[in-house]
Structure 1
Amino acid sequence: MIKVFALILFFITALYAVNDQEILKRADSFLKSSSKSNQFRAYNDYKNLYLRALLHGDNKLKHSALKGIISSGHRLHIDVKRYEQEYKHLSHISKKNYKAKKNIQVTSSHKLKSVRFYNKRLVLQFDKNLQKKQVNYFTLSDKKKSIYKYVFDIHASMLKKSNTLKQEGVDKIKLAQYNPNTLRLVIQNKTPLKIRFFKKGKVLSIKIINKSAKTKKKSPKRLDRNKVIVIDAGHGGKDPGAIGYRKYREKIVVLSIARELKRILRARGFTVYMTRDSDRFIKLRNRTKYANRKNADIFISIHANAVGRKDAKRVSGLECYFLSKSRSSRAKKVAEMENSADLDEMDYYGKQSFLNTINSHNIVASNKLAIDLQRGALATLKSRYKNVKDAGVREGPFWVLVGAQMPSVLVEVGFITHPTEARRLVSRSYQKTMAQGLANGVERYFINSQKR
């Protein structure tokens, strides 16, 4: 029967010119040197001797080579644990001779009954329970030639024919009778593998993991970041907006969140403008005019909500509004509060008449933008804070959104009158988290827009 030596042939060619004892003598000399280079030479010589010993079945040479690998490996801080295990095993057999074999019952009386893949593991079933030291595992590799071999020597016998097994992501798996008492399993691949195995009763189970062979996920569609975004920090200057818990002012809170949102979006590659970047008053109609002049793709107006003292501790939550002719009582109340700064610009009936002329082509897109912003903000906030309330996406007659020629929304980042929510709204960390969530919502909107 021809012995299978394929796993070591690529190491042998360079060894023919020099005999074993000369190489061992040279390696011992290099090992005594204080030079790291010589110690590396010693380590390589011992490795070559070890492979040659495997080839010829020379346990004496194998013993000397393993001892040298361990000594040089320790000096060079190389992991040689598997060689230490093999050295101990070999020494044990040498000392006990046939007694060791008798103690662990390692003889060809162990027969391999079956080999198969089950639940992503290679499972070898024997006719008797495997003993503690019946399986010897080691690896061989040649990085230059991209050959990595993982070898199991099992003291047992099998059927006369060798088996070539297949697993996706592994180049070659071969099981053959190495000698009358040793069954050899060789797992070979072009890239390193991670091997995990355990013995239980009559079974040897081996899991082969190839990280480089994992199915590559399809790259997500690249987001077109050539978009213009205008952020509007509500109120400002003479108009403080809502005055809430502990006299916190809406205009200050929303400006901080708007600035942070601008910073994040610009860092992600978007072109971003702000209707105001300081504490100054801007008429509502001029905010969307500014967005139109900048040819913005979307317009986001940031506000903080409020209720009377009676309901202050009860009402909280994040809301997103988009422009419509809605007459719901809640939308009308919120809109009246946010529209109050420009009541002198047009009388109530004039505004209602104007709202009735709104073109619906942007309403659907604005609704989708509001949904994405709401989802983005809530998901990010809930990952870091407890009891974050979703007050929903709503529609309403917000004057600040009238005239926008692009999808536009008004975000109520929370109730500045609610004790817990107000304390969070003035917190820099909460403002940054809110801005992060809104930025995620913006990206979600543009990604979804590309799919449509």
Structure 2
Amino acid sequence: MVRLLSLFLILVISLYAQSNSELLKRADGFMKSGSKSNQFRAYNDYKNLYLRAIMAEDGKLRASALKGIVKSGNKLHIDVSQYSKELSKIKIKTSYQAPKSKPIQKSKSKNIKVQSSHKLKSVRWKDDKLVLKFDKKLRSNQINYFTLYDGENERYRYIFDIHASMLTESQNLIKKGINRIKLGQYDTNTLRLVIENSKKVEIRFKKESTQLVINMRSSTIKSEAKISNDIPKTTFPQRADRDKVIVIDAGHGGKDPGAVGYKNYREKVVVYKISQELKRILRSRGYKVYMTRDRDKYVKLSKRTEYANNKNADIFVSIHANAVGRKNANKVHGIECYFLSPSRSKRAERVAAKENSADLSEMNRYGKDTFLNFLNSHKIVASNKLAIDLQRGMLGSLNKKYKVKDGGVREGPFWVLVGAQMPAVLVEVGFISHPTEAKRLVDSKYRKTMALGLANGIERYFAKN
């Protein structure tokens, strides 16, 4: 452990040689820029400062870094709730001004000096669609739509930021099947609509001259998979951009067998065969596809994303099989997708502990979380989207012939995803410890059906993004 921490400190010092004050000054300068790329640079600088503060036990620097992370993260629509909670517990005052909270629940036009040229005239429901009408024709760049997922509280948030003003008090809107819809003035230039629900919501919207028309329908990933069954396979090849590079990572290998499950079936063998089939399908559709291992060999986790970075990959997909102890082997089954996050959920930590064990057995939980917080980036949103599409693709393909359990899309601290400079997802293709699921995973027809679903999910992701 001492050796790992020493290497970790050397990495930090060598990558970020500037003094703390210089780095903070640079980050503050980036924040003043209206450029998103500069705001991303600020966000990364603040996270680097946060790491330094933890290692040096510098409370004042930690407070400044947290304030910067929260401010820049909010501007970039990155979920920084974890850092906000940490910041709220710190009472140290610094010269850096903390970002002011602007909850839409309390936004009132009489307290906001509105600067936007567009004004909201009316809000109404028409044919079960929400219609926002403005006084002038809307431009495409006036509307910014993004989603956030709170894994700890299992909450989905769908957010529209519109460069406009409403000139009235915030409104609560009601729609059956949706937990909460809030419309309010977020700041002087931005009208914000927040759709919040405990289950996924299918959102479709379009701009019609002076109107923004939003169609929303509460659904689960399973119901979305049912929809995908009706979509011809040729839909994705016609729409998706094929000029993409994909790196597929078959988990474990060589001296690391991964999970050993029912009848001693080995994870490393199953996932390699699925990965090969996925590579074959994607290449047949015109994609450039590489694999982190092309045979039964051991590859360090840190080298896998490094390989993807060197290939300038557009996405990184790591394929694994899950497992539990004999006591619960007959009960626990299902497929899941994970994207990188220092998640605290017990389920995510259990799965991550299994997958991380090859390289991280000597690093304690604090060290892992600190490193993950440091290396996590704005790619988390894109990775979340990719995970949803992969999960949807697998369910849509497998449920035509087999009945599979939807384990959902989750966030977790997976070391194999750390350092990826592109959207990265870890797929758990099933529980090799479950008798029925294990028999399926060693069946070539089932693996081909699984690979086809993953390929369709990848195509769907590229078509939408």
TM-score of the two chains, using structure 2 as the length reference? 0.48
Which of these two proteins has the greater Rg computed from alpha carbons? 1
Larger relative contact order, structure 1 or 2 (CA cutoff 8 Å, min sep 6): 2
